[in-house]
Every structure is written in structure tokens, then in C-alpha cells.
Structure 1
Amino acid sequence: MDIKTLIISPPPPLPVFFTMFLTIYLLAHFIIFRNWTPKTRPEAASCLISLTHGTPAAILAGIAIFSDPKHHFASPNTRFQNSVLEYSIAYFIMDLIHYLTFYPTDVLFIGHHLATLFVFVTCRYVAFHGAYSVLILLVLAEVTSLLQNVWTLAGARKGDSEVARQVFDKMSVWFYGVYSVVRGVGAPLFVYRMVGFYASGVADSVVPRWLWVSWVCVVVAAISVSVLWVSNNWVELFRERGVRVEKGKKVW
């Protein structure tokens, strides 16, 4: 099936996407990572569905944006854009179930998933407009997904695998660097443009003010948490590298 056919064909319903992610999660948990420890197996299963969602979602979002020649912040959602939104909604519902099951006290990630679902669901089923801005934010959020999930999987096994430890160590600088640029520079610049457009009032008839303000609040909070998270990781990285230097070990 070519891209043009994919764009104009009816999108699969949300339950189909959810069933896909649920199936991948169960396969990962009970078959692919069955030899991992009970502590790391759920995290690995979550990483696998994140890998299935992240990079494909970023690519599909880019295609969905540029397949609409009249795209702008207040454009009506195209059928293909709605399909991409449903794809992401299904993933976040599945991963939210994962966190509620295995990490119910992880309020940061649970809150993140609920807030993200609010943005996607209201864009898809309430406003029916604004997918252009939401999908660009999705691209910015998921462009580092592949690096992050490989880094996370390596980190989960670094204690009992020398290969995993080396992968984790070598990836950390590159992953933190790319993540810092995307979340610390690219995302804030786009949100600035987004706020400028919606604050002008030209889209109030299709994207109510209360809705775009809530979107911006969610995105700013997510960016702030992301920057804080990667900043803490940078601090921890240099602390660990400093300790190794003191011990006379090669760290780079």
C-alpha cells in the first residue's frame, strides 16, 4: 500500500490499535523477555510497545502534517491526522494500564500519560481542529524515542550484562545531548509560536481558548519535567564519570 492510499483510506478504529499494542505487550512480557527477571520484564515490555509507537508515530505524524497542503495551527483535522492521533491514544492507554498495574505509585509518569491523553483525545474528539500543532509536538516528543528505549533497556540489564553496561555508558552522552536539544530548545521555540498564534484569537471559533490554554499548560509542564529529568541525568553522568576518573578508569 502506497502513502497516498494510506492517507485517503479509512483509518483503523481505535480498538484495533489498542489490540495491537496489547498483543505486543503480552508477547514481550510472556515470550520475548520471559527470561528476564520479574523486576525488569515489565519495564522491557513497556519499552517494546514504546518502540513500536515512538518512531512510527513520529514518521506518520510528519506525513500526516505535510499531506495537508493548507496545514496551520487552526486547520481542521484530516482523516489521516485523526488516525495518527488514535494510534497514539491507543499506545498511551496501554502504557497507562502498564503503570497502574506495575508502578501505581509512579505519579509522575501516570500524570504525564493522563495529561497527554487529554491533549490527544480533546484534539481528536472535541475540537476536531488543531492536529497540526499537536502532531508537531508528537514528533518533538517521539523523535528521541528509539534512543531512549534502547538506553532504557540497556540500563535495565547493565547490572548483569557487560555488553548492556557498555551500550548504556556509550549511549548516555549522545542520548542526553539529542534529548536536551529537542526538549530544551526545539520544543520551547515551537510552543512560543503556538501560543503566539492562538493568543491572537484567530482560532477561538474552532479551538476554544480554554482548550488551547490547557494544551499549552500540559506541554509546558511536560517540557519542564523533561528538562529537569535530563538535567539530573547530566549531573549523575558527570558525577559517575568523575568517580571513575579518580579511580584511574577510562570513561569516554
Structure 2
Amino acid sequence: MDNTPLFFTMFFTIYLSAHFIVFRNWSPKTRLEAASCFISLAHGTPAVFLAMHAIFFNPETHTFASKNNISQNNVLEYSIAYFVMDLCHLLIFDPKDVLFIFHHLATLFVFVTCRYLVFHGAYGVLVLLALAEVTSLLQNVWTLASAKKEENEVAARVFYKISVPFYSLYSVVRGFVGPLFVYKMVLFYSSGVADNVVPKWVWVSWICVVVMAISVSILWVTNNWVVLYRERMFKVENKKKVS
């Protein structure tokens, strides 16, 4: 049974609730961003636990060539539904965000081919999903605080307090743990032992998508570290001038 339509309906309902209930008093622009964050919150952290459950409670599927089990397919469907919902949001309300739209399309390619085309390889895909989403809670709180920090003192405090732990975790996961796991995937698939279940063009495509995503993530967090450093140095210089 394919649960993707059911999951999509759930995310669509959460999205509408964010628009018309949770963030109804926010300005139209920030409300759109907040609604996207809200469905990301509903997907990210649950996806980590669901992925880990699907992997660790099925030890027979702990290889990159293992056939997808039912739990793993459910997690893939859950994530496919989320990315389709958020892609609809982007295409309708932010079509100029080409980079993010491309990210969603590329991610969907990986999930869809794993779930509906080759029926194998969910172990590696779900570990990467968990690594990508383990920072989701911090990132979405950071994003929501960023959207309101200019007009809300509490949001500003949350933004600056959460920035360092968020950037730190993000840097470790995207800069070290993720690349190491991708390296192990490349070693496994390049040996050819999985070519009969995961064709070469499929796993090569997966690796390309993941490498591009990690590269962009590293550039993004590096830029945020630089911005944070400049802001703090600017505050220090201002304090010196005042004193």
C-alpha cells in the first residue's frame, strides 16, 4: 500500500493550519515562510526517528544493496509527500528561488527512484535523510526567529542564542559525518556488487545529488559563520567606541 497521498493530505492540512491559524497574525510575507517552516518541522524530526527505527529494527537491511522493507518504504513515502508539498509552495509563492526548487526536485529524484524504481538502497538513503534532518528543529526555530527578529525582541534573543549551537551541529553533520558516509557509499557501489539491484546510473545520480547538496550546505553555513562573526565584531567595536 502506498501512503504518499495520505501523507500529502496531512502535510497540506498542516500547511493550511499554519497559514490560517498558527501564524494568522503575521505579515503575509513572513506568514508564507513560517508556513513552509511549519511543515518542515512536521517532517524533519519525525523523519529522523522514523528512519532510524526503519533501519535499526531491521538489521537484515543494513547494507547499501538491501531490498527496501515496508518501514523504509513508509519513510520514503512520508518524505516524498513533504517535499512535493513544499515544492508546490515554492512554485506558487517563490518561483524565483531556483536553487531551493532544484534541491527539492533532486531530492525527490533520489527518494522516488529508491521507492518506485529500484526498490533497493533505502538503508543509505535513509541514513542520509536522518543526517540531513537532524538539524531540522534548530534550523526551523532559527528561521522563524530570523523572520521576526527585527520586530520582536524575544525572537531576536532566540536567534542570536541559537545561532552558534545550530551552526556548530550543522557544520559537524554536513561537513564531516555526511561526507564520510557518502565516501562509504561510493566505495560500496563502485565495487559493482550492487549493480544487479541498483544500476550504476542510479547510484551515480544519487551520489551526485548528495555531493551537490552537501557542497551547497557547507557554503551556506560557512557564509552564516562569517556573517555572525562580522556582526559580533561590529558590536564589540561599537561598545569600545561608547566606552
The alpha carbon displacement at 1:67 in A equals 1.7
The structure in which a higher percent of residues are helix is 2
Unaligned runs of 5+ in 1: 1-10
Q: C-alpha offsets along residues 19-58 of structure 1, whole Å, 9 cap, x if unaligned?
A: 0000000010111101000110010011110000000001
In the TM superposition, what is the alpha-carbon distance from 1:211 to its structure 2 partner? 0.2
Q: Does 2:227 align with 1:236?
A: yes
Per the TM alignment, residue 66 of structure 1 is displaced from its structure 2 partner at its CA by: 1.1
1:46-81 CA-to-partner distances (Å, cap 9, x unmatched) read: 111000000000100000011212121100000110
Structure 2: gaps spanning 5 or more residues: none
Question: What letter corresponds to residue 228 of structure 2 in structure 1?
Answer: L
**How many residues are treated as equivalent by the alignment?**
239
Rounded to whole Å, the distance in 2 between the matches of 1:142 and 1:32 is 23
TM-score of the superposed pair, with normalisation by structure 1: 0.94
1:42 matched residue in structure 2: 32
Identify which of 12, 16, 21 aligns with 1:31: 21
Q: Give the SS at the match of 1:39.
A: helix
Alignment equivalent of 1:248, drawn from 218, 239, 243: 239
Letter paired with 1:28: A
Match of 1:173 in 2: 164
Shift of 1:12: 6.0
CA distance in 2: counterparts of 1:130 and 1:99, whole angstroms: 29
Larger deviation, residues 12-21 vs 176-185: 12-21
SS of 1:16's equivalent in the other structure is helix
Q: When the two structures are superposed, what TM-score results if normalisation uses the length of structure 2?
A: 0.97
User: Could you say which residue in structure 2 is the equivalent of 1:151?
Assistant: 142
RMSD of the alignment, in Å? 0.9
- For residues 151 and 32 of structure 1, the distance between their equivalents in structure 2, rounded to whole angstroms, comes to 17
Partner letter of residue 234 of structure 1? W
Q: Does 1:200 align with 2:187?
A: no
Q: After superposition, where does 1:12-91 map in structure 2 within 5 Å?
A: 13-70=3-60, 71-91=62-82
% identical aligned pairs: 71
What SS does structure 1 have at the residue aligned with 2:192?
coil
1:13 Cα shift? Answer: 1.5
